[in-house]
Amino acid sequence: MNFEFARKELTKELSQKGIKDPRVLEAIYQIPRHEFVDPTFTSRSYQDMSLPIGHQQTISQPFVVAKMTELLIQGNVLDQKPLGTVLEIGTGCGYQTAILARFCRKVFSLERIEALSLRADTNLKKVGVENYQLRWSDGTLGWPTPKKFDAIICTAAISQIPKKLKTQLELHGKLICPVGDGKKQHLLFLEKKSKDEFHETILDSVLFVPMLEGKVSE
Predicted local distance difference test score (pLDDT) of residue 50: 95
Nearest to 211 by CA among 91, 99, 63, 114: 91
Candidate list 15, 43, 60, 117, residue with the active-site label: 60
Instruction: Give pLDDT tens digits for 89-130.
Output: 999 999 999 999 999 999 999 999 999 999 999 999 999 999
Q: pTM of this prediction?
A: 0.93
End-to-end CA, the chain:
32
Residue 78 pLDDT level (bands cut at 50, 70, 90): very low
**13 alpha carbon, distance to own chain's centre:** 20
Could you tell me the pLDDT band of residue 79, with boundaries at 50, 70 and 90?
A: low
Map out the domains of the chain as residue ranges. Answer: 3-206
Q: What is the pLDDT of residue 110?
A: 97
- CA R_g for the chain: 16
Judged against a pLDDT cut of 90, whether residue 46 lies above it is answered with yes
- Counting Cα atoms < 13 Å in the Cβ hemisphere of 160 gives 3
For the chain, the average pLDDT equals: 92
Overall average pLDDT of the 147-175 stretch: 93
Write the Ramachandran bin of 172: left for phi over 0, alpha for psi from -120 to 50, otherwise beta: left
pLDDT digits (tens, 9 = 90+) for 131-150: 999 999 999 999 999 899 99
Residues 6+ apart with CB under 8 A from 1: 34, 42, 43
Distance CA 102, CA 27 (A): 7
Q: Measured between alpha carbons, how far is 177 from 24 in angstroms, rounded to an integer?
A: 18
Q: Is 60 a catalytic residue?
A: yes
Contact 123, 93 (CB under 8 A): yes
Distance CA 165, CA 143 (A): 8
- What is the percent of the chain with per-residue pLDDT over 90, rounded to a whole number? 79
Find the mean pLDDT for residues 171-196.
90
Give the pLDDT mean for 53-66.
Answer: 94
- CATH for the 3-206 domain, from 3.40.50.300, 3.90.180.10, 3.40.50.150, 3.90.1300.10: 3.40.50.150
